Amino acid sequence: MALKENFQNFLKVLRELPEHQKKIILWAIVAVLAIIMGIFWIRQATNNLNKIGESIGQIEFPEMTTAEERIKTTTLPINLQNIEDNE
């Protein structure tokens, strides 16, 4: 019962404060909660980014070659007789 009475007394004191002090208290509470939520958000974001990094490390990407490399390694059989016949 004492806790309920203490809380009621606290609310009574808050109600009797001038508006300016009430606004200061409100914004202080909002700032503290924003900082706490920001800390949790940053921790969770870093955990998620680490998980993404680990997942990307496990992916095996196919080997990429440029067009120039493919031209060097590709040999096309050219039948000159067929080209001359078409002309």
Per-residue pLDDT of the chain (87 residues; tens, 9 = 90+): 788 899 999 999 999 999 999 999 999 999 999 999 999 999 999 999 999 888 887 777 777 777 776 666 666 556 555 555 555
Q: Which two tokens stand for residue 41?
A: 């958000």
Q: Is residue 25 within 8 Å of 14, Cβ to Cβ?
A: yes
- What does the alpha-carbon distance between residue 38 and residue 35 come to, in Å, rounded to a whole number? 5
Give the model's pLDDT for residue 45: 95
pTM score of the predicted model: 0.53
Give the model's pLDDT for residue 25: 94
The HSE-up count of residue 39 (CA atoms within 13 Å, CB side) is: 5
- What does the alpha-carbon distance between residue 48 and residue 46 come to, in Å, rounded to a whole number? 5
Q: Is residue 14 within 8 Å of 22, Cβ to Cβ?
A: yes
